[in-house]
Amino acid sequence: VKKNPAEPEFHQAVKEVLESLRTVVEANEEKFRRDALLERLVEPERQFKFRVPWVDDNGQVHVNTGYRVQFNSAIGPYKGGLRLHPSVNLGIIKFLGFEQIFKNSLTGLPIGGGKGGSDFDPKGKSDREIMAFCQSFMTELCKYIGADTDVPAGDIGTGAREIGYMFGQYKRIRGLFEGVLTGKGLSYGGSLARTEATGYGLLYLTQEMLKLNGIDIAGKTVAVSGSGNVAIYAIEKAQQLGAKVVTASDSNGWVYDPEGIDVAALKEIKEVKRERLTSYKNYRPNSEYHEGRGVWTVKVDIALPCATQNELHLEDARALAANGCIAVAEGANMPTTMEATEYLQQNGVLFAPGKAANAGGVATSALEMSQNSERLSWSFEEVDAKLKGIMVNICHNMADAAEKYGCKGNYVAGANIAGFEKVVEAMTAQGIV
């Protein structure tokens, strides 16, 4: 805290991970102390902060701050998304980059941890303004990334359109057509199923976690928060698996649709028209729209927070448990506060942490990198089958690690330990760097 003041989200992420690693570290205390393994783990290898000037449609110049944190490359090139949201600061990017190390390790694929973004707000901007920002951002970022060094992807506010503008600018400056970004459009090196991957992966893992506990997902009622990339495809896959999703939200309010969210309508509103959720009622007159928060007050069997960090608080956890919720799986990164997580775990609610549950996005990004390297494209079914295999594997690895270290059923500890072991082994093998 003294070394990195004013970075509360980063402190929160580090605290959660280190606390769950206590037993592993204690078993090898001398080695960890001598090699300063934890100290090296929490210090990014490198971080960039830069000016991003751009011109709006009225000729006015704006200045945003860009970031890229290259956290850990022990097991592969840095990999992690770019977040465009006014709340972005160094602490947020560091928390996301730190989480990414363990998530990427859990996928079993050779990718290190990194994250980046800017405090730019894409809401309400014209296409030309988005392009101006993305080009300026990439003009600086292109000095630090590359297909074999650091491969950014999308995150909040960065979708296919933004990745396209950034890829074009990278190619123009560096003269390289290479897999430097993932989440690309299908016509220039993107992977089928990448758009769906995080949401679908979340459901594959949730289904497997329930199965391990003797529960069938079919017929269950589900609350989802958010209405972006992760939320939309989580809702779609939940419905394909026979569950009924009754909520979605954005930063202004939330909808309750007792007959089940209409995914086609949601895609039209969010992906095509880029409107607010208030429009949902035009498609589904029997649904309700409420201002503010409230998704977690609905009586459901399963809760899937898919919006942003710290969106599920202690009072929400209490409401979910009181309503008989059996499982929470995090589609977003760190959406559940530490107190809420502990409350859910203590009250018998199965809890899958984001670094395991939402790893399907980055796993499929790594599959996109493989396709780019071999200059081939795989079919949707091939990528989806690999994604499912990876998520089922992650679920078993986190469950087994929890059991091995005496905390059976504690998937937070299990995911942290399973991700950590591989990174530490690689760091140790590579010497003091």
Q: Which is nearer to ligand NDP, 164 or 228 (CB)?
A: 228
Distance CA 178, CA 189 (A): 9
Q: How far is the CB of 273 from ligand NDP (least distance, A)?
A: 13
Nearest CB to ligand NDP, comparing residues 77 and 331? 331
Closest Cα to residue 134, out of 150, 118, 156? Answer: 118
DSSP character at residue 115: E
Shortest Cβ 194–ligand NDP spacing (Å)? 8
Nearer to ligand NDP, 222 or 424 (CB): 222
Q: How far is the CB of 331 from ligand NDP (least distance, A)?
A: 6
CB proximity list for 250: less than 8 A, separation 6 or greater: 226, 227, 276, 277, 307
Catalytic residue among 49, 94, 115, 123: 115
- Judge whether 123 counts as a catalytic residue: no
C-alpha to C-alpha distance for 8 and 38, rounded to whole angstroms: 19
**229 labelled ligand-binding:** yes
Q: How far is the CB of 274 from ligand NDP (least distance, A)?
A: 9
**Whole-number Å distance between alpha carbons of 306 and 44:** 26
431 belongs to an annotated ligand binding site: no
430 labelled as ligand-binding?
A: no
103 is in an annotated binding site: yes
Q: Which is nearer to ligand NDP, 298 or 427 (CB)?
A: 298
Cα dist. 195→28, 154, 186, 263 in Å?
41, 10, 10, 15
- Residue closest to ligand NDP when measured from CB atoms: 228
Angle at 331 between CA 368 and CA 124, to 5 degrees: 80
- What tokens were used for 135? 């080009």
**Quick one: which of 326, 321, 324, 318 has its CA closest to 351?**
326
Binding site for ligand NDP (CB under 6 A): 154-157, 198, 226-231, 250-252, 306-308, 311, 331-333, 358, 361
Query: Hey, what amino acid is at 193?
Result: A
299 in a labelled binding site: no
Binding residues: 79, 100, 103, 154, 198, 229, 365
Catalytic site positions: 115
Binding residues for substrate: 79, 100, 103, 154, 365
Binding residues for NAD(+): 198, 229
